Amino acid sequence: MSAAATTSAALGTKAAANEPPKGSAWKNLRGLFPYLRRYPGGLALGLLATVLMGIIGNIVPLATGIIIDVLAGSERPFSNSGVVGALKASWLSTIIPFYQPSSRHTLGIYCLLLIGLIAIKGVLSFSARWILIGVSRDIEFDVRNDLLDRLLILEPEFYVRNRTGELMSRATNDLNAVRMVLARESCTARRR
């Protein structure tokens, strides 16, 4: 066997060792489903808060647009929105209550509405984060307990072959990564 063939075989082995495992992300996360099933109430409440936060986040720009139209003195809200906006403006203008162009009363109502929406969105954001991060910490605790139970039943030869410090560092880092995956989903949904 030539030296070039040996070198390419060794490089191929190293490259294969550095590649991420093949398969879908769902396949890799399948092991977490039994832990997720333990907390259906917390997950549902956290996801509900995230969805409501998204809905309110979409209403905020509408309230801001109404405030701008009141200040500009437009006869109807969203009348200066362009062609696509004109299609939306026809049905959207009919459902907006208390609209009067250049009215301080209307401006006050929609400014208070905007402040209220931002406050509600902040409370929902805090609640979603609090709940989902709490659930992720509970799942991390459950996984740690299951790992400890598994390590306690292993034969002593396992600990002769594997260094305890390496096992502990891998367990710590990997379980923190699992918690971050579970907690980061709520943060990602919040930023969208």
Percent of the chain at pLDDT > 90 equals 32
Q: CA 38 to CA 137: how far, in whole Å? A: 13
Q: CA 48 to CA 38: how far, in whole Å? A: 18
The lowest-confidence range among 8-17, 155-164, 168-177 is 8-17
Domain extents in the chain: 31-191
The CATH architecture annotation of domain 31-191 reads: Up-down Bundle (1.20)
Q: Which residue has the tokens 């082995």?
A: 13
Most confident of 118-122, 129-133, 172-176: 118-122
The whole-angstrom distance between residue 10's C-alpha and the CA centroid of its chain comes to 41
Query: Are the CB atoms for 64 and 114 separated by under 8 Å?
Result: yes
Tell me the two tokens of residue 173: 């880092």
Tell me the two tokens of residue 125: 């954001």
Of 118, 116, 79, 125, the closest CA to residue 101 belongs to: 79
> Cβ–Cβ contacts within 10 Å for residue 111, how many?
14
Asked if residue 6 has pLDDT above 70, the reply is: no
Q: CA 82 to CA 88: how far, in whole Å? A: 10
Q: CA 79 to CA 62: how far, in whole Å? A: 13
Maximum CA extent, the chain: 89
Per-residue pLDDT reduced to its tens digit, 77-120? 777 665 445 455 566 667 777 888 888 998 999 999 999 999 99
The lowest-confidence range among 12-16, 23-27, 46-50 is 12-16
The lowest-confidence range among 19-33, 130-144, 150-164, 169-183 is 19-33
Asked if residue 181 has pLDDT above 60, the reply is: yes
| Selected residue with higher pLDDT from 78 and 55 | 55
Give the pLDDT band (50/70/90) at residue 13.
very low
Write down the mean pLDDT value for the chain. Answer: 79
| CA-to-CA dists, residue 31 to 127, 140, 168, 182, angstroms | 27, 13, 20, 13
Give the pLDDT band (50/70/90) at residue 19.
low
pLDDT score of 4: 44
pLDDT score of 192: 45
pLDDT score of 10: 44
Tell me the two tokens of residue 135: 């659930």
Query: Are the CB atoms for 21 and 28 separated by under 8 Å?
Result: yes
